[in-house]
Structure 1
Amino acid sequence: MDFFTQQDRARRNTRYLVVLFGLALALIVILVNALVTAFLWVGRDYNIYAGGSGWEGYLALFSWERFGVIGLAVLSTVGFVSLVRWLQLASGGKAVAESLGGRRVLRQSADPYEKRCLNIVEELSLAANMPVPALYVLPDERGINAFAAGVNPADAVVAVTRGAALQLNRNELQGVVAHEFSHILNGDMRLGIRLASLLKGITFIGDVGHFLLRMGAYGVGRSNRRSESSAALPIVGLGLMVIGWLGSLAAGFIKAAISRQKEYLADASAVQFTRDNSGIADALKVIGGFVPGSLVHSARAPEMSHIFFGEVRHRLWEGFATHPPLEQRIRRLDKDWDGQYLQRAEVRYGTEPLSENDVQTGVGRAALVAAAMASAGLADSEGTRDQASSDATFSTDEDVADSRIRDESDADALPQTLHDSVLEPLGATAMALTLVTAQRESQPLEAALAVLRSKGARGQLELVTDLLPQVRGLHPGQRFPLMATAMPALKSLSTPQYREFKTTLLSVIQSDGRIDLFEWCLFQLLRHYLDPEFLRVENSRPRYRHIAKVRAPLRQVLSVLAHQGEGDSARAFALACEELGLSGLTLAPLEECSVAEFSRGVHTLADCYPLLKPRILKAMALAAADDGEVCPVERELVIAVAAVMDCPLPPEFALG
Structure 2
Amino acid sequence: MDFFSQQDRARRNTRYLVVLFILALSLIVLLVNALVTAFLWVGGDYNIYVGGTGWKGYLALFSWDRFAIIGLAVVSTVGFVSLVRWLQLASGGKAVAESLGGRRVLRQSADPYEKRCLNIVEELSLAANMPVPALYVLPEERGINAFAAGVNPTDAVVAVTRGAALQLTRDELQGVVAHEFSHILNGDMRLGIRLASLLKGITFIGDVGHFLLRMGAYGVGRSNRRSESSAALPVVGLGLMIIGWLGSLAAGFIKAAISRQKEYLADASAVQFTRDTSGIADALKVIGGFVPGSLVHSARAPEMSHIFFGEVRHRLWEGFATHPPLDRRIRRLDKNWNGQFIQRSEVRYATEPLSANDVQTGVGRAALVAAAMANVALPDEAAIATDGQTIIEDAEFSQDQRVTEMVAENDLLGETVEQIPEVLHNAVLEPLGATAVALALVTARRQDDTLNAALTVLKEKAARGQEELVARLLPKVSSLGPGQRFPLMASAMPALKSMSTPQYREFKTTLLSVIQSDGQIDLFEWCLFQLLRHYLDPEYLRVENSRPRYRHMAKVRAPLRQVLSVLAHQGTGDSARAFALACEDLKLSGLQLLPLAQCSVAEFSRGVHTLADCYPLLKPRILKAMALAAADDGEVCPVERELVVAVAAVMDCPLPPELALS
> Same fold, TM exceeding 0.5?
yes
Is 1:489 aligned to 2:495, yes or no?
A: yes
Q: Distance in 2 between matches of 1:555 and 1:378?
A: 30
Q: 1:175–1:274: 8 Å Cα contact kept in structure 2?
A: yes
Is 1:447 aligned to 2:453, yes or no?
A: yes
Q: CA deviation at 1:560?
A: 2.5
The range that moved more, 127-136 or 427-436, is 127-136
The range that moved more, 448-457 or 505-514, is 448-457
Q: 1:77–1:201: 8 Å Cα contact kept in structure 2?
A: yes
Q: Distance in 2 between matches of 1:583 and 1:63?
A: 63
Which residue identity lines up with residue 622 of structure 1 in the other structure? Answer: A
Aligned to 1:527: 533
Aligned to 1:186: 186
Is 1:216 aligned to 2:219, yes or no?
A: no
Q: CA deviation at 1:509?
A: 0.9
Aligned to 1:618: 621
The range that moved more, 320-329 or 33-42, is 33-42
Structure 2 counterparts to residues 71-90 of structure 1, below 5 A: 71-90=71-90
The range that moved more, 81-90 or 4-13, is 4-13
SS at match of 2:659: coil
Aligned to 1:633: 639
Is 1:420 aligned to 2:423, yes or no?
A: no
Which residue identity lines up with residue 97 of structure 1 in the other structure? Answer: A
Q: 1:206–1:243: 8 Å Cα contact kept in structure 2?
A: yes
Q: CA deviation at 1:625?
A: 2.8
Q: CA deviation at 1:39?
A: 3.6
After superposition, the Cα gap between the structure-2 partners of 1:207 and 1:258, relative to the gap in structure 1 and judged at 3 Å, is same
Q: 1:126–1:655: 8 Å Cα contact kept in structure 2?
A: no
Q: Which of 469, 479, 482 is the aligned partner of 2:485? A: 479
Q: Distance in 1 between matches of 2:349 and 2:45?
A: 71
Aligned to 2:416: 411
Q: Distance in 2 between matches of 1:6 and 1:587?
A: 30
Which residue identity lines up with residue 164 of structure 2 in the other structure? Answer: A
Q: Distance in 2 between matches of 1:61 and 1:587?
A: 74
Aligned to 1:561: 567
Deviation digits for residues 67-97 of structure 1, max 9, x if unmatched? Answer: 3332222111111111111222222222222
Which residue identity lines up with residue 109 of structure 2 in the other structure? Answer: S
SS at match of 1:136: strand
The range that moved more, 495-504 or 646-655, is 646-655
Q: Distance in 2 between matches of 1:408 and 1:605?
A: 30
Structure 2 counterparts to residues 431-470 of structure 1, below 5 A: 431-455=437-461, 459-470=465-476
Q: 1:374–1:653: 8 Å Cα contact kept in structure 2?
A: yes
After superposition, the Cα gap between the structure-2 partners of 1:350 and 1:52, relative to the gap in structure 1 and judged at 3 Å, is closer
- Identity across the alignment (%): 80
Q: Distance in 2 between matches of 1:159 and 1:153?
A: 14
The range that moved more, 411-420 or 99-108, is 411-420
Give me the TM-score of the superposition, normalised by structure 1: 0.90
Is 1:499 aligned to 2:505, yes or no?
A: yes
Q: 2:150–2:189: 8 Å Cα contact kept in structure 1?
A: yes
Q: Distance in 2 between matches of 1:305 and 1:113?
A: 25
After superposition, the Cα gap between the structure-2 partners of 1:374 and 1:346, relative to the gap in structure 1 and judged at 3 Å, is same
Which residue identity lines up with residue 209 of structure 2 in the other structure? Answer: G
Q: CA deviation at 1:40?
A: 4.0
Q: Distance in 1 between matches of 2:444 and 2:249?
A: 60
Which residue identity lines up with residue 362 of structure 1 in the other structure? Answer: G
Q: Distance in 2 between matches of 1:295 and 1:651?
A: 33
Is 1:430 aligned to 2:433, yes or no?
A: no
Aligned to 2:404: 399
Q: 1:10–1:264: 8 Å Cα contact kept in structure 2?
A: no
Q: Distance in 2 between matches of 1:9 and 1:512?
A: 43
Which residue identity lines up with residue 626 of structure 2 in the other structure? Answer: A
After superposition, the Cα gap between the structure-2 partners of 1:545 and 1:198, relative to the gap in structure 1 and judged at 3 Å, is same
SS at match of 1:511: helix
Structure 2: stretches of 5+ with no match in the other structure? none
Q: CA deviation at 1:42?
A: 4.8
Aligned to 1:239: 239
Q: CA deviation at 1:617?
A: 4.1
After superposition, the Cα gap between the structure-2 partners of 1:45 and 1:388, relative to the gap in structure 1 and judged at 3 Å, is closer
Q: Distance in 1 between matches of 2:162 and 2:335?
A: 30
Q: CA deviation at 1:545?
A: 5.9
After superposition, the Cα gap between the structure-2 partners of 1:145 and 1:58, relative to the gap in structure 1 and judged at 3 Å, is same
Q: Distance in 1 between matches of 2:571 and 2:376?
A: 20
Q: CA deviation at 1:422?
A: 0.6
Q: 2:277–2:395: 8 Å Cα contact kept in structure 1?
A: no
Aligned to 2:595: 589
Structure 2 counterparts to residues 32-431 of structure 1, below 5 A: 32-42=32-42, 45-46=45-46, 48-51=48-51, 56-376=56-376, 391-396=394-399, 398-405=403-410, 410-413=415-418, 415=420, 416-431=422-437
Aligned residues: 650
Q: 1:103–1:139: 8 Å Cα contact kept in structure 2?
A: yes
Which residue identity lines up with residue 168 of structure 2 in the other structure? Answer: L
Deviation digits for residues 503-548 of structure 1, max 9, x if unmatched? Answer: 2211111122211111111101111222233334344466556655
Q: Distance in 2 between matches of 1:30 and 1:558?
A: 56
Q: CA deviation at 1:595?
A: 0.6
After superposition, the Cα gap between the structure-2 partners of 1:33 and 1:589, relative to the gap in structure 1 and judged at 3 Å, is farther
Is 1:552 aligned to 2:555, yes or no?
A: no
Which residue identity lines up with residue 338 of structure 1 in the other structure? Answer: N
Q: CA deviation at 1:6?
A: 11
Q: Distance in 1 between matches of 2:293 and 2:378?
A: 39
SS at match of 1:173: helix
Q: CA deviation at 1:402?
A: 3.4
Q: Distance in 1 between matches of 2:379 and 2:307?
A: 32
Q: Distance in 1 between matches of 2:184 and 2:4?
A: 20
Q: CA deviation at 1:252?
A: 1.2
After superposition, the Cα gap between the structure-2 partners of 1:630 and 1:67, relative to the gap in structure 1 and judged at 3 Å, is farther
Q: Distance in 2 between matches of 1:483 and 1:584?
A: 39
Aligned to 2:29: 29
After superposition, the Cα gap between the structure-2 partners of 1:486 and 1:61, relative to the gap in structure 1 and judged at 3 Å, is same
After superposition, the Cα gap between the structure-2 partners of 1:35 and 1:350, relative to the gap in structure 1 and judged at 3 Å, is closer
Q: Distance in 1 between matches of 2:220 and 2:78?
A: 30
Q: 1:572–1:624: 8 Å Cα contact kept in structure 2?
A: no
Q: CA deviation at 1:499?
A: 2.2
Q: Distance in 2 between matches of 1:534 and 1:388?
A: 38
Q: Distance in 1 between matches of 2:585 and 2:365?
A: 34
After superposition, the Cα gap between the structure-2 partners of 1:277 and 1:472, relative to the gap in structure 1 and judged at 3 Å, is farther
Deviation digits for residues 247-281 of structure 1, max 9, x if unmatched? Answer: 11011121123222222122111111122222111
Q: CA deviation at 1:116?
A: 1.2
After superposition, the Cα gap between the structure-2 partners of 1:572 and 1:270, relative to the gap in structure 1 and judged at 3 Å, is farther
Q: Distance in 2 between matches of 1:577 and 1:58?
A: 70
